[in-house]
């Protein structure tokens, strides 16, 4: 079978990049060659992959020659500056950053929801924000069955969403708090140890933060429904990994908890854990390292006749980032193989 | 001026009881004598109060003789069993437990909201659940101005709400997690260190927990409005003290963020901290040890024309429990003094 020639991972040494590399190995992603790239700071370090060591190359504007597919996990400014050079060099790019997501020429893809969108656009395919991805997976089966009109979401977000330094800040800040000593946080505005911080990102329209507005705009784009009314509050809590969300939806017709449970359970990539009396519901501790979106506490919204409430947990580094990107890569790879196979007959 | 004769504190050695004792001292609560009571396990220990040591007496059914006013902070079963003996002995009882709150003969009082209710009933006055108290203080000025029709709340609750052992579980569980060792949690069903747990209390109607249903029923009772539609999700997070809440309300007419900010700021017991761009909003770290309800992140609910969103933090051991009870005691004491003064003229 024809396979991709060369795949590149940009940001391969970061919190998400490391998992992308692991997933490419574990999921036996097919390509003839792999290249791992990162900033000058990390260039030269070694990455073990499929039984050998790869040297990390420095990301430059002329590094993209020969790459067919690039998976990039970088800050927004790096994605803005470098990725056009990747597409100009002929690569298809799957981008984890926030920079390209709302560009009308860039599809925003969750493979369980809108896989066909991955084959449109200008060469860049965006993967959504972590807190959006798990929510939109949960919303999709409800939306298909009963049209979601309104969403109110509150997040409980892990520090790993702030990168490797986010995790270091939590661990070192917590040790300091337990010892009664001081720790100088590097990525958080306020101490995160034993605290909750209702701000993720800068302030955008009407006092909402960038993280909150991503949940509005990206959800509408992925579901292809600009009429969906969404309000989010995004909160950082002292959890190392996995975002949790309380989600309240209003649908066009009432969806009973039993129906919702069935809709969720039969949707790809969702696992229902819902038996509160026996202590069964998703928690970050249980969902970390998993690729699925977990849902529990499914119940009628007591405050609205067409309302439904539930609790949604997912590994923000995996389905919220690396897993979703690799799933998009798998979509492209399968189509690529088909095309090459068709050409060769 | 005439003052109360004898005041008793039941559960004086517990997480809330300790703060009640502190507040009676700090706020110079007037009475001729004080007695401190607790379970047999704690009886005999010493409590420092106003410059001397008091021996903790054992709570028994015949311990109430001579007490004019009792402030009780005990588990529900103890409140159910013992408090009727206190009222039978002639004491007025302020109860922190959940047992009596929804009894139609028992007023449920937040002094900023319904002080007159403290002078009704059968001798027991209930103080609300911690997560309810801070929310209802926030709702009251909005309700007075524009009638709150619907409330959706998600909580971020501290371990101190589970008593002294809750705090021990968090500290010891966190140390164990950092060391890679195991800790056997005493009061939490799942590990709380670096985790989030969407269950507080047992399961009640329609899959909601007891904590969630308290927020529904107690809020309606305190505000005297059974038509208010309320849905809550209560979540324990690894914070030592102070509950946080994301609150979405729908009001009969739209309330702008500016109007809401003014309504909140001019209501007794509320402090507004709301300048997200400069990192100003309440956090548990900042609000712990304070008696007020703190509100920030006030913004228009983007999902509803009459909606408003905000973030509310308060010390669950103080305004959520001890402070509210002592404020009720102060109400009673003032009226008592007036009555005694009237009688003596």
* Model pLDDT for residues B268-284, shown as the tens digit of each residue: 999 999 999 999 999 99
Contact flag B195-A285 (C-beta cutoff 8 Å): yes
Mean pLDDT score, B183-204: 97
Burial of residue A136 (number of CB atoms within 10 Å: 0-12, 13-18, 19+): buried
3-state helix/strand/coil string of A115-165: HHHHHCCCCEEECCCHHHHHHHHHHHHHHHHHCEEEEEEEEEECHHHHCHH
Task: Please say if the pLDDT value at position A345 is more than 60.
Answer: no
Residue of B nearest to A308 (CA): B231
Task: Please say if the pLDDT value at position B14 is more than 50.
Answer: yes
Percent of chain B with pLDDT over 70: 97
Which among B209, B244, B301 has CB closest to A196?
B244
Contact flag B276-A207 (C-beta cutoff 8 Å): yes
Mean pLDDT score, B92-113: 98
Provide the shortest C-alpha distance from residue B100 to chain A (in Å). 24
Mean pLDDT score, B252-267: 98
Q: CA–CA separation, B120 vs B113, rounded Å?
A: 15
Q: CA–CA separation, A114 vs B144, rounded Å?
A: 46
Mean pLDDT score, B39-44: 96
Which pLDDT value is given to residue B335? 85
Mean pLDDT score, B222-236: 98
Which among B233, B244, B302 has CB closest to A246?
B233
What's chain A's average pLDDT? 96
Q: CA–CA separation, B179 vs B127, rounded Å?
A: 40
Q: Which residues of B touch A198 (CB under 8 A)?
A: 244, 246, 281, 283, 296-297, 311
Mean pLDDT score, B200-218: 97
pLDDT-derived band at A140, boundaries 50, 70, 90 = very high
Q: Which residues of B touch A257 (CB under 8 A)?
A: 206-207
Interface of B with A in 126-155 (CB under 8 A): 150-152, 154
CA angle A218, A223, A225 (to 5 degrees): 95
Interface of B with A in 174-233 (CB under 8 A): 174-175, 178, 189-191, 194-199, 202-203, 206-209, 216, 229-231, 233
From B130, B234, B242, B287, the catalytic residue: B130
Instruction: Count chain A–chain B contacts defined by CB atoms under 8 A.
Output: 177
ipTM: 0.96
Q: What is the CA radius of gyration of chain B?
A: 20
Which pLDDT value is given to residue A314? 98
Q: Which residues of B touch A174 (CB under 8 A)?
A: 174, 178
Provide the shortest C-alpha distance from residue A141 to chain B (in Å). 20
Contact flag A190-B233 (C-beta cutoff 8 Å): no
Mean pLDDT score, A29-56: 96
State the sign of the Cα–Cα–Cα–Cα dihedral A17, A22, A25, A28: negative
Task: Please say if the pLDDT value at position B336 is more than 80.
Answer: no
CA angle B46, B52, B57 (to 5 degrees): 35
Contact flag B231-A154 (C-beta cutoff 8 Å): no
pLDDT-derived band at A344, boundaries 50, 70, 90 = low
pLDDT-derived band at B21, boundaries 50, 70, 90 = very high
- The 10s digit of each residue's pLDDT in A261-301 is 999 999 999 999 999 999 999 999 999 999 999 999 999 99
Provide the shortest C-alpha distance from residue A45 to chain B (in Å). 28
Using N-to-C axis directions, what is the helix angle for A15-26 and A323-344, rounded to 10°? 40
Choose, out of B237, B240, B279, the residue to mutate when testing the contact with A (most A CBs < 10 Å).
B237
Percent of chain A with pLDDT over 70: 97
Which pLDDT value is given to residue A25? 97
Residue of B nearest to A177 (CA): B171
Q: What is the pTM of this model?
A: 0.96
Q: CA–CA separation, A198 vs A234, rounded Å?
A: 6
Residue B260, helix vs strand vs coil: helix
Task: Please say if the pLDDT value at position A184 is more than 80.
Answer: yes
Say if CB A249 and CB A159 are below 8 A apart: no
Task: Please say if the pLDDT value at position B344 is more than 90.
Answer: no
Residue A178, helix vs strand vs coil: helix
Q: Which residues of A touch B281 (CB under 8 A)?
A: 198-199
Task: Please say if the pLDDT value at position A35 is more than 60.
Answer: yes
* Residue B68 DSSP label: S
Residue of A nearest to B189 (CA): A279
Active site residues of A: 130, 243
Which among B190, B202, B209 has CB closest to A285?
B190
Q: CA–CA separation, A33 vs A68, rounded Å?
A: 10
pLDDT-derived band at A343, boundaries 50, 70, 90 = low
CA angle B297, B302, B304 (to 5 degrees): 120
Name the phi and psi angles at B200, rounded to 5: -130, 110
Which among A174, A237, A307 has CB closest to B196?
A237
Contact flag B235-A244 (C-beta cutoff 8 Å): yes
Q: CA–CA separation, B238 vs B192, rounded Å?
A: 6
- Helix (H) or strand (E) holding A324, with range, is helix A323-344
Say if CB A112 and CB A267 are below 8 A apart: yes
- Helix (H) or strand (E) holding A327, with range, is helix A323-344
From B63, B143, B234, B243, the catalytic residue: B243
Say if CB A174 and CB B178 are below 8 A apart: yes
What contacts A50, CB < 8 A, 6 or more positions away? A25
pLDDT-derived band at A1, boundaries 50, 70, 90 = very low
Residue of A nearest to B281 (CA): A198
- The 10s digit of each residue's pLDDT in B281-323 is 999 999 999 999 999 999 999 999 999 999 999 999 999 999 9
Residue A21, helix vs strand vs coil: helix
Tell me, yes or no, if A298 comes closer than 8 A to chain B by beta carbon.
Answer: yes
Say if CB A5 and CB A345 are below 8 A apart: no
Choose, out of B233, B300, B308, the residue to mutate when testing the contact with A (most A CBs < 10 Å).
B233
Contact flag B174-A174 (C-beta cutoff 8 Å): yes
Contact flag A231-B297 (C-beta cutoff 8 Å): no
Percent of chain A with pLDDT over 90: 94
Residue of B nearest to A174 (CA): B174
Using N-to-C axis directions, what is the helix angle for B257-265 and B130-146, rounded to 10°? 120
Q: Which residue has the higher pLDDT, A148 or A344?
A: A148
Contact flag B216-A302 (C-beta cutoff 8 Å): yes
Task: Please say if the pLDDT value at position B341 is more than 80.
Answer: no
Beta strands in chain A (DSSP E): 4-10, 31-38, 46-49, 52-55, 57-58, 69-72, 92-95, 124-126, 148-156, 229-233, 243-251, 270-272, 293-300, 307-314
Active site (annotated) includes residue B130: yes
pLDDT-derived band at A335, boundaries 50, 70, 90 = confident
Q: Which residues of A touch B189 (CB under 8 A)?
A: 279
Q: Which residues of B touch A299 (CB under 8 A)?
A: 206-208
Contact flag B196-A244 (C-beta cutoff 8 Å): yes
Provide the shortest C-alpha distance from residue B32 to chain A (in Å). 40
């Amino acid at each position: 079978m024809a396979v991709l020639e060369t795949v590149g991972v940009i940001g391969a040494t970061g919190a998400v990049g490391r998992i992308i590399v692991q997933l490419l190995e574990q999921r036996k992603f097919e390509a003839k060659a792999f290249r791992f790239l990162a900033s000058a700071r990390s260039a030269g370090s070694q990455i073990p992959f499929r039984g050998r060591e790869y040297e990390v190359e420095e990301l430059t504007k002329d590094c993209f020659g020969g790459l067919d597919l690039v998976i990039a996990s970088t800050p927004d400014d790096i994605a803005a500056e470098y990725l056009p050079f990747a597409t100009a060099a002929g690569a298809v790019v799957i981008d984890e950053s926030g920079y390209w997501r709302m560009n009308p020429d860039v599809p925003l893809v969750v493979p369980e929801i809108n896989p066909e969108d991955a084959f449109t656009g200008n060469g860049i395919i965006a993967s959504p924000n972590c807190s959006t991805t798990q929510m939109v997976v949960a919303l999709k089966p409800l939306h298909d069955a009963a049209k979601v009109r309104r969403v109110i979401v509150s997040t409980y977000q892990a520090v790993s969403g702030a990168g490797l330094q986010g995790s270091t800040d939590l661990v070192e800040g917590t040790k300091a708090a337990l010892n009664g000593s001081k720790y100088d946080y590097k990525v958080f505005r306020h101490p995160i140890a034993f605290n909750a911080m209702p701000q993720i990102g800068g302030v955008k329209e009407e006092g909402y933060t960038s993280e909150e507005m991503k949940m509005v705009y990206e959800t509408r784009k992925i579901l292809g429904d600009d009429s969906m009314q969404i309000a989010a509050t995004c909160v950082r809590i002292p959890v190392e990994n996995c975002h949790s969300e309380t989600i309240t939806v209003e649908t066009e017709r009432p969806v009973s908890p039993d129906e919702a449970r069935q809709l969720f359970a039969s949707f790809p990539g969702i696992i229902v854990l819902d038996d509160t009396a026996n202590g069964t519901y998703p928690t970050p501790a249980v969902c970390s390292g998993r690729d699925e979106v977990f849902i529990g506490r499914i119940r009628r919204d007591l405050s609205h006749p067409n309302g439904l409430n539930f609790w949604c947990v997912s590994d923000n580094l995996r389905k919220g980032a690396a897993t979703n990107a690799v799933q998009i890569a798998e979509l492209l790879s399968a189509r690529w193989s088909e095309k090459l196979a068709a050409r060769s007959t």
